[in-house]
Amino acid sequence: MLVIVAPGQGAQTPGFLTPWLEDPAFAARMEWLSTVAGIDLIDYGTNADAETIRATEIAQPLLVATGLVAALQLFPQPADAFSKIGAVAGHSVGEITAAAGARAISAEQAMVLVRERGKSMAEAAAKTPTGMTAVLGGVREEVLAAIEKHRLTPANDNGPGQIVAAGTLEQLEAFAAEPPAKARLMPLSVAGAFHTKHMEPAVGHLARLAQSVSTHDPRTRLISNKDGHIVHDGAQALDRIVGQIANPVRWDLCLETMSDIGVTGILEMPPAGTLTGIAKRALKGVETFALKTPDQLEDARAFVEKHGEANPIETTPTWRMVVAPAKGTFTLAEAVSGLDVLPAGTEIGAIASLRDTIAITSAHGGEVIEWLVEDGDLVSPGQPLLRLHPTGVQHS
């Protein structure tokens, strides 16, 4: 099982784009996405210093564009990719890369969204002096208790031994003066407290823009930063990307979902290294590949062939599927038993896991073609539950 992941802000380094631009096709695509974003990404990715590309409004479009164009280098025939990729996920802004890679939104839509995301987050960060500090090691419960004590937010929960606290500089100073036992604090070079309430003004701006974005159901399993759930409705995926700006990144739960679906290989898009490093610590026995430079492409393709397998989510223009967001026991809603047609938004049942119970709705509605599970079945993340045919559309 292959999972493709896209890194978030902080992964960029000066000049990291230079070797990629030797390929004329890569350079042309970057130029196009630069035009869409209204930013000279080629110049920033080759000539700018670390401080310049640290700026939120520059780093975010640069990362998303690089991930998308590198994916086309890895998969010259994009349609072939979905027969090999088991799931995709992105950390923070990398979730936009993942959503576009899964075809929930287009590359051009992704670039407009990330441009506005970066600008609005930078503006929100400028209103109050805030920051982020990585907490490495320590006992998880004690770390979270210390973060709460100082009224900070665990903005990134990245897995065992790595939680990022975020809040005002005053709160972070107090936290540094009274750190959790056996933990090391590392202030991060970021412009503000991302994924906290301090970013709420940016959410409103992006939410208004998102109303005009057309979406499609992802072509493969898309793992959400919000809770690690598999999302198979394009509109819901976009809503989660918008809301995630002011809410914590639960990468730990994304890793848990990868484990649940049986991941054997994780390939990180450039600029790679951060997420594969986390995976090595959290998912023992899972192979990783950090794609950093184009001379690794052949080895990366071999990695894809080794771990790739058929995508369980089939796609066709003539029917829709409802899939499980998480693992657990499926309970069929009595109200839908025996129905031949379901209205959009119908609750078809629930999945009970050790953590919670998740209501499952049919986002699109339509004629029931086939139930793929039965009441009481154990299901895995991304497993198809129900196949529907849109009403008013001729069967193929």
**The pLDDT value given to residue 312:** 73
Please check whether residues 28 and 75 belong to one and the same domain.
Answer: yes
**Domain CATH for 142:** 3.30.70.250
If you ran DSSP here, which 8-state letter would residue 310 be given? Answer: -
Same domain, 120 and 132: no
Whether residues 218 and 101 share a domain: the answer is yes
CA-CA distance, 265 to 287, in Å (whole number)? 5
**Beta 230-231 vs 341-342: how paired, if at all?**
unpaired
Total domains, the chain: 3
Q: Is residue 313 part of a domain?
A: no
d(CA 274, CA 170): 28
The answer to whether position 65 is within a domain reads: yes
**DSSP calls for 209-267:** HHTT------SSEEE-TTTS-EE--HHHHHHHHHHGGGS-B-HHHHHHHHHHTT--EEE
What pLDDT is attached to residue 239? 97
Q: In this structure, how many other beta carbons lie within 10 angstroms of the beta carbon of residue 24?
A: 8
Give 346's strand partners.
362
> Residue 66 — left, alpha, or beta (φ > 0 → left; ψ -120 to 50 → alpha)?
alpha
Full-model pTM: 0.92
Q: pLDDT value at position 396? A: 43
Residue 242 placed within a domain: yes
What pLDDT is attached to residue 393? 47
The rounded Cα 132 to chain-centroid distance in angstroms is 20
Catalytic residue status for 120: no
pLDDT given at position 157: 96
Cα-Cα-Cα-Cα dihedral sign, residues 333, 339, 340, 343:
negative
Residue of 34, 91, 92, 205 marked active site: 92
**Residue 287 domain-assigned?**
yes
CA-atom Rg of the chain in angstroms = 21
On whether both 215 and 106 belong to a single domain, the answer is yes
Instruction: Give yes or no: 195 in active site.
Output: yes
If asked whether residues 115 and 135 sit together in one domain, one would say no
- Which residue in the list 195, 229, 307, 389 is annotated as catalytic? 195
Q: What is the CATH number of the domain that holds 114?
A: 3.40.366.10
Residue 318 has what pLDDT?
62
Spans in the chain with pLDDT lower than 70: 314-318, 392-396
- Residue 23 maps to a domain: yes
Domain residue limits at 375: 320-389
Pair of tokens at residue 112: 């407009």
